[in-house]
Amino acid sequence: MEIAKGWAGKKVLSSPFVVQLLVIMYLVEFVKGALLVSILPVYMRQELDLTAYAVGWALALQYIGDNAFRSPLGWIIDRIGYRYVMLFGVLFTSASVLIISFTSGLGWIVVACLLLGIGTSPLWPCVINGATTVAGNESSGTIMSVVYMAWLTGVGCGPIVINFFIVHTYTPAFRILIGMMIVVVLVALFLPGRHQSMALENREIHSHADEVHRQLPWTERVRRYFARVGASLHASKLLYPAMFTQNFALGLLTPVLTQYARTVLHLTPQQYSMYLVAGGAVTVLGLIPVGKWVDRFGTKWFLHVGFLTAAVSLAVLGYTRSLPLVLLIVAFVGIGYACIIPAWNALIAQAIPKAERGAVWGFFLTIEGLGMVFGSISSGKLWDKLGPHSPFLVSGAVLLLLFVLHLFITRHRTDVVR
């Protein structure tokens, strides 16, 4: 059994299709991270002289566009394959980069942010759907670790690397981002089309049932579709609030981390980067071994340990002012998420039916995205009303709630097996 799992993991990582998806994931997240963290907020404030309110709305449109289109695009992947869905996304993302590079009006920047969100919306459904299709359940933990490594390194490298090219002008930085998007478009052209995607997922392209289905009114088709998907899900209904909660906890921290580091801990930008790299490095280095252990031992105990470790660490972090101790706590947060990320996504992958994998991944990612949106909105209110420690404390409490939800989810799975 272990030999079979090891062979399956190597097969996944040597698959040209999976390599293409990981290259696209890394480059798109590099571009997105560079734009959202290092370029757009400062560029819109200093170069375009826009208000903070305008900047906030422009960036919010990116998240709205990304989240709104994930579910329908996941459904479309099941119908037309990976190539055209991903091309749709990367061409919109490329258009966004070009607009930001060559225009300066608020209207154009807002349009570019919306296009960036719409353009990146197929990324996660395509990558996770394709990678888990090749991996199967026996290597879902390993492949999720690799996908999240590509994501984390792309998101992390984008803002850091692009800063070296922003000196007196943004032109060199924009040229690099445009060049990366050209590479992404070329890679996307070689993704599987409809016939190849169907063969990859062992699905027939046409059947008599499909022909009968197409003759029904579209409302009846939609109703039957969701009924079929719902009936085929191998998961507790508690998985839905758990997915929302997991990203809500993360969303609580995203908007306040920089503010907390600069105004409460009084870190310099260089020190803050060092702390981010420390926490991120612990997470990235832990992903691959934990992913392999998840494939071997299952998800249960890794999620138990991960939720508790991250919950306690985040709650303590909000009250800690000693910089060496903060660094140690950040490392424990990284360990917690190194356990959570591959195990959580492997748990979700096991619940998804093969017949409608793209649509269900899109739906699940939309639920997770909503958690991130509401967490980000709540974070600022908590900071203003209750103090800088409150987003960290609430995030830790939410992860404890998620730990309890997971206890019931694993109990449901045990009952199903019996």
Q: What is the pLDDT of residues 102-128, one digit of tens each?
A: 987 778 888 998 899 999 988 888 888
Angle between helices 323-351 and 269-297 (to 10 degrees): 40
* 367 pLDDT above the threshold of 50: yes
Q: How far apart are CA 385 and CA 322, in angstroms?
A: 24
Name the helix (H) or strand (E) containing 146. Answer: helix 140-163
The domains of the chain, with CATH numbers, are 7-205 (1.20.1250.20), 235-418 (1.20.1250.20)
Q: Scan for tokens 């994998």, then name that residue.
A: 357
Quick one: DSSP state of residue 401?
A: H
User: Which SS3 state, helix, strand or coil, does residue 51 take?
Assistant: coil
C-alpha neighbours within 13 Å on the C-beta side of residue 278: 17
Give Cβ neighbours of residue 195 (< 8 Å, ≥ 6 apart).
Answer: 81, 205
As a whole-number percent, the residues of the chain with pLDDT over 90 amount to: 22
**Dihedral of alpha carbons 43, 49, 52, 54, sign:** negative
Q: How far apart are CA 342 and CA 345, in angstroms?
A: 5
* Across 347-351, average pLDDT: 78
pLDDT for position 280: 80
pLDDT digits (tens, 9 = 90+) for 21-56: 999 999 999 999 888 877 777 777 677 777 655 666
Range in 231-235, 274-278, 378-382 the model is least confident about: 231-235
Hey, what long-range contacts does 326-334 have (CB within 8 A, 24 or more apart)? 326/265, 326/275, 327/275, 327/278, 330/275, 330/278, 330/279, 330/282, 331/278, 331/279, 331/282, 333/279, 333/309, 334/278, 334/279, 334/280, 334/281, 334/282, 334/283, 334/286
The letter for the amino acid at 305 is V
* 315 pLDDT above the threshold of 90: yes
Quick one: DSSP state of residue 69?
A: T
pLDDT for position 176: 95
Q: How far apart are CA 317 and CA 310, in angstroms?
A: 10
Quick one: DSSP state of residue 177?
A: H
pLDDT digits (tens, 9 = 90+) for 61-97: 787 888 778 777 777 877 788 889 999 999 999 999 9
Task: Please state the φ and ψ torsions of residue 72, each to the nearest 5 degrees.
Answer: -60, -35
